[in-house]
Amino acid sequence: MKKLVAFSLAMGLIFGATAMVGTAQAAKVIKIAGMKAEGEPETIGMHKFGEYLEKLSNGKYQVKVYPNSTLGKEDKYIADTRRGTVEMNATGTQVASFHPAMAMMETPMMYDSYAHAHRAINGGVFDLLTKGFTEKSGLRCLSMFPLGFRHFYTKNPVKTIDDVKGLKLRVPNITLYTTFAKNCGINGQAMPFAEVMSSVDQGVIDGGDSPFSDITSTKVYEKCPNITMTGHILVIHALFINEKLYQSLPDQDKAWFNEAAQKAAEDVWQLVEELDKTAIAEIEKNGGKVSEATPEMKAHMLEAAHRTWELFKDPNTPTMYVPNADEIFAKAESFK
């Protein structure tokens, strides 16, 4: 009898261990690709999403984060997500090529604070921006979160509107950005961010504009130590999932993905202001100077922004035209 009991216990342990291995092997790995480095808001958001999804699903799903363009540049991993070879990604206005309204995530001077943007996006702007996006792209947008407001970084101080006019600043090669720079009187130089340092050294540019997270991660403040807090564009990124994959999920699993994405976004919204404070401290510790833009400069940039907004309202610019643009502007304004 003792031998029988011992045998039964041994078999039970074997079957239990086998079941545990089987459960671990059954976990579905979700690959999520991004462009930012570890420690930046986008990557923090991806990691948070993975933590929440694994917990909500009790280990049914595990998320593997690929930051810093490990799976290629944005256009590649977006295409891979559409094909389904990568399940998810984090990106921003790059997806506007499928649905122009997504470019309005980064409309100049649309938000005057993180709190304003947070209220607006959760209060209906998200739904207006993404309406019709999935059908055109094959991707589903699960949540949006901030990377930070863009501020000027320059070799010399920028104190007045005249200091802005004629500045040679690096801008992303995106119509919205280049048009806004022109309307501000800036001599915009479209180039990849990776070329900023060498271009400053060569005198090609006087600086550029970026969120604090980019300014500190690249230490661009070492060459352009004057940071002017204009906050003219809030950079917004989002979590996207392949739509076919999403539709193949049971309803409970969809709910897990949705909840994990929302919780992760909320974490980043709460965190980003603290990250800005940390960045300012680092810049000042290393000899940089961070100053507020004057009310006159803000007014100048707001007027330039309003002229730039016309890009979204003009049916003659089909790559930018957003039929419900006025509704989006009004909804965002209502949360000030």
pLDDT tens sequence across 18-66 = 444 444 458 999 999 999 999 999 999 999 999 999 999 999 999 999 9
Q: Are strands 226-229 and 289-292 parallel, antiparallel or unpaired?
A: parallel
Mean pLDDT within 270-299: 97
Fold of 22-333: D-Maltodextrin-Binding Protein; domain 2 (3.40.190)
Task: Note the pTM of the prediction, 2 decimals.
Answer: 0.90
| Cα distances (angstroms) measured from residue 209 to each of 74, 151, 179, 193 | 20, 5, 15, 10
pLDDT of residue 1: 46
Angle between helices 175-184 and 295-313 (to 10 degrees): 140
d(CA 321, CA 314): 6
Top pLDDT among 274 and 26 is at 274
Mean pLDDT across the chain:
93
Residues 6+ apart with CB under 8 A from 211: 147, 148, 149, 150, 151, 235
pLDDT of residue 25: 56
Nearest CA among 291, 57, 34, 290 for reference residue 145: 34
Q: What token pair was written down for 179?
A: 């048009």
**Digit-coded pLDDT (tens) for 193-204:** 889 999 999 999
